[in-house]
Amino acid sequence: MNHFLDIHKTDKSALRGIIDDAKAIKTARAGRPKAAPDDELPLKDRMVALIFEKPSTRTRVSFDVGVRQMGGQTMVLSGSDMQLGHGETIADTARVLSRYVDMIMIRTFDEAVLEEMSEHATVPVINGLTDRSHPCQIMADVLTFEEHRGAIADRKVVWCGDGNNVCASFLHAAGQFGFDLTFTGPVQLDPEMEFVGFARNAGRTVTIERDPFKAVEGADLVVADTWVSMHDAQSAKERRHNMLRPYQVNDRLMQAAGKDALFMHCLPAHRGEEVTSEVMDGPQSVIWDEAENRLHAQKAIMRWCLEG
């Protein structure tokens, strides 16, 4: 059985297979809004539980639609409505759910919850975001980059802002897909050394550059994310904004990156904060493709989980 827990915990060749499968799934749809009538139905007669302990638009809708297009059904559960939110252990929840459903996707806070779920579930478990990673997002981002620019290997990705969970998954992907990453942000919000070390140990160049204009020189891709993540205390908002303001992705920064650099953001974005509307709606932005590609990437991830 295959769990999809994190990019650095998934075999390199499996990751490449998932991206190629996602490309094929998307091509087969030929731009149609709905599933192709001849779509395979690998989830026929299967039930997938989608558990959310944090809010979501893209993850919730793209998984729900993806499961249905693959012939399955979904059950969307909020952690606080389950006994899980009232003292039942994660291990017991995993054992019970495995008797009812064929796959579990969970968005949670502590990554230990995801790990415990996967240790005790007898069905595949997928990470729909934790405080420390967001692997489904980065699979969609790799797919999006390759659609627009070809192979991501040996390219330069620049992360602007907070070295958060999405940044961590980008560092994992740098190691696994073989690209280099420059982080530009305040020292207080550097990504954890564990994530940087993973990419470096895989032979990739990870650069920390405090000057955002220097950082983006020669970038193939510039990425931003919210300055205050769902797991961050709201009381830290003002302090974070003050530290992060110099790292806003705006027209001036994209000009420094060069006209061939793409712009990505996992969304939801805060227009006028981490990124300006000019950049989000401008010619270098591929954010809507990126959001769409969550659907295709996750269908490929679910197929891979079932193959195991």
Window of 92-100, 148-156, 264-272, 298-306 that interacts with ligand CP by CB under 6 A: 264-272
Tell me, residue by residue from 3 to 42, as one string, x for binding to ligand NVA by CB under 6 A and - for no binding: ----------------------------------------
Distance CA 114, CA 102 (A): 17
In sequence order, the 6+-apart residues with CB closer than 8 A to the CB of 114 are 5, 106, 108, 125, 127, 130
Distance CA 248, CA 272 (A): 8
Tell me, residue by residue from 163 to 192, as one string, x for binding to ligand NVA by CB under 6 A and - for no binding: -xxx--------------------------
User: 294 catalytic, yes or no?
Assistant: yes
Distance CA 272, CA 226 (A): 11
Query: For 53, how many CA atoms within 13 A lie in the half-sphere containing its CB?
Result: 22
Amino acid at 210: R
Token look-up 């193939």 returns 220
Which pair of structure tokens corresponds to residue 253?
Answer: 């920064």
Residues numbered 114 to 133 that lie near ligand NVA (CB under 6 A) are: 129
Among 267, 270, 292, 306, binds ligand CP (CB under 6 A): 267
Q: Which of 137, 176, 248, 298 is catalytic?
A: 137
User: 99 catalytic, yes or no?
Assistant: no
Among 56, 108, 118, 226, binds ligand CP (CB under 6 A): 56
Nearer to ligand CP, 76 or 208 (CB): 76
Name which of 166, 178, 228 is nearest 204 in CA terms.
178
Which pair of structure tokens corresponds to residue 215?
Answer: 């950082």
Query: For 43, how many CA atoms within 13 A lie in the half-sphere containing its CB?
Result: 29
Residue 165 contact among ligand NVA, ligand CP, none, beta carbon within 5 to 8 Å by kind: ligand NVA
Which pair of structure tokens corresponds to residue 176?
Answer: 């696994």
Binding residues: 56-59, 83, 107, 134-137, 165, 225, 229-230, 266-267, 294
Which are the catalytic amino acids? 107, 134, 137, 225, 266, 294
Binding residues for carbamoyl phosphate: 56-59, 83, 107, 134-137, 266-267, 294
